[in-house]
Amino acid sequence: MLTQKSERFLNNSEFKESLFYAREALKLSISLNDDYFKSISYKIIASNYEELSEYEKSIANYNIALQYAEKIGNSDLLSRINNNIGNIYFFHKKEYEKALDLYDKSIFYGEQIQDTSRVAFANLNLAWAKFDIGQYDEGYKHLNYINKNIHYLNADAVPVVFMLNGMYNSYKGKVDIATSDFEKSIAEATRLKQDVDLSFAYLEYSMFLNKYGLYKSAFENLDQYRILRSKIYDQQKLKKALSEGLNFEIDEYKRALVQINQEKADQASKLKKSRITVYLFVAGIIGLLIILYSVYKNYLYKKKLNSELQIANSELKIAKDMAIEAAKVKTQFVSTISHELRTPLYGVVGLADMIMEEYKGSANSKHLNSLKFSAEYLLSLVNDILQINKIEENKLVLEKYCFNLVDQLETIKDSLSFISKFNKNNIVLDIAKDIPANLIGDKIRLCQILINLISNALKFTSNDEVLLKVSLDKKLGEVCFLKFEVIDHGIGIAKKNQEKIFDKFVQIERKNEDYQGTGLGLSIVKKLVNLFGSEIYIESEEHVGSTFTFTIPFDADQEKCKKMMEDEIIDHQTCKPLKILVVEDNKINQIVTCKTLRDKNHSCEVAESGSKALDLLESEHFDAILMDINMPVMDGYETSREIRKRGFKIPIIALTAYGRDEIIERVLASGMDDCLVKPFEAVTLFTIINRLVK
Nearest to 131 by CA among 102, 165, 104: 165
pLDDT single digits (tens) 479-492: 999 999 999 998 88
pLDDT single digits (tens) 340-393: 666 676 666 666 666 766 665 665 665 666 566 556 556 655 665 666 666 666
Correct CATH for 312-396 of 3.30.70, 2.40.128, 1.10.287, 1.10.10: 1.10.287
Considering 268-272, 290-294, 407-411, 672-676, the range whose residues carry the highest mean pLDDT is 672-676
Residue 611 pLDDT class (50, 70, 90 cuts): very high
Reply yes or no on whether the pLDDT at 576 is more than 50. yes
d(CA 22, CA 241): 12
Q: Pick the range with the lowest mean pLDDT from 160-174, 388-402, 591-605, 632-646.
A: 388-402
Reply yes or no on whether the pLDDT at 181 is more than 80. yes
Residue 336 pLDDT class (50, 70, 90 cuts): low
Please report, rounded to a whole number, the percentage of residues in the chain having pLDDT higher than 70: 79
Assign domain 579-693 to a CATH class. alpha beta
Read off the pLDDT of each residue in 252-274 and give the average, rounded to a whole number: 59
Characterize 373-408 residue by residue with b for buried, 16 or more Cβ atoms within 10 angstroms of its Cβ, and e for exposed. eebeebbeebbbbbbbbbbeeeebeeeebbbbbeeb
Between 272 and 516, the more confident residue is 272
Between 272 and 77, the more confident residue is 77
Domain 401-567 belongs in CATH node 3.30.565.10: yes
Angle at 297 between CA 293 and CA 303, to 5 degrees: 140
Considering 220-234, 437-451, 495-509, 570-584, the range whose residues carry the highest mean pLDDT is 437-451
Read off the pLDDT of each residue in 438-443 and give the average, rounded to a whole number: 91
Reply yes or no on whether the pLDDT at 510 is more than 50. no
Considering 417-426, 497-506, 582-591, 654-663, the range whose residues carry the highest mean pLDDT is 582-591
Nearest to 589 by CA among 395, 358, 339, 421: 339
Please give the model's pTM, rounded to 2 decimal places: 0.43
- Residue 571 is predicted with a pLDDT of 47
d(CA 210, CA 670): 67
Q: Pick the range with the lowest mean pLDDT from 111-125, 205-219, 233-247, 399-413.
A: 233-247
Amino acid at 13: S
- Kindly write down the DSSP assignment for every residue of 343-381, as one continuous string: HHHHHHHHHHHHHHHH-GGGGG-HHHHHHHHHHHHHHHH
- Kindly write down the DSSP assignment for every residue of 609-646, as one continuous string: SHHHHHHHHHHS--SEEEEES--SSS-HHHHHHHHHHT
Read off the pLDDT of each residue in 428-443 and give the average, rounded to a whole number: 92
Considering 37-51, 52-66, 620-634, the range whose residues carry the highest mean pLDDT is 620-634
Considering 54-68, 92-106, 348-362, the range whose residues carry the highest mean pLDDT is 54-68
Read off the pLDDT of each residue in 680-691 and give the average, rounded to a whole number: 81
Reply yes or no on whether the pLDDT at 653 is more than 90. yes
Reply yes or no on whether the pLDDT at 550 is more than 90. yes
Q: Enumerate the domain spans of the chain.
A: 312-396, 401-567, 579-693
Nearest to 523 by CA among 503, 544, 548: 503
Q: Is the peptide bond before 679 cis (omega within 30 degrees of 0)?
A: yes
Fold matches, 312-396 and 579-693: no
pLDDT single digits (tens) 118-162: 788 888 888 888 888 888 988 898 899 889 888 888 877 889 899
- Residue 75 is predicted with a pLDDT of 87
Between 451 and 249, the more confident residue is 451
Residue 516 pLDDT class (50, 70, 90 cuts): very low
Between 79 and 550, the more confident residue is 550
In the predicted model, what is the mean pLDDT of the chain? 81
Nearest to 24 by CA among 9, 13, 566: 9
Nearest to 138 by CA among 130, 128, 148, 147: 130
- Kindly write down the DSSP assignment for every residue of 129-172, as one continuous string: HHHHTT-HHHHHHHHHHHHHTGGGS-GGGHHHHHHHHHHHHHHT
Read off the pLDDT of each residue in 395-420 and give the average, rounded to a whole number: 82
Q: Which residues contact 404 (CB under 8 A, 6 or more apart)?
A: 437, 438
CA dihedral 665, 666, 672, 678 (to 10 degrees): -90
Between 561 and 505, the more confident residue is 561
Read off the pLDDT of each residue in 608-630 and give the average, rounded to a whole number: 93
pLDDT single digits (tens) 667-683: 999 999 999 887 777 77
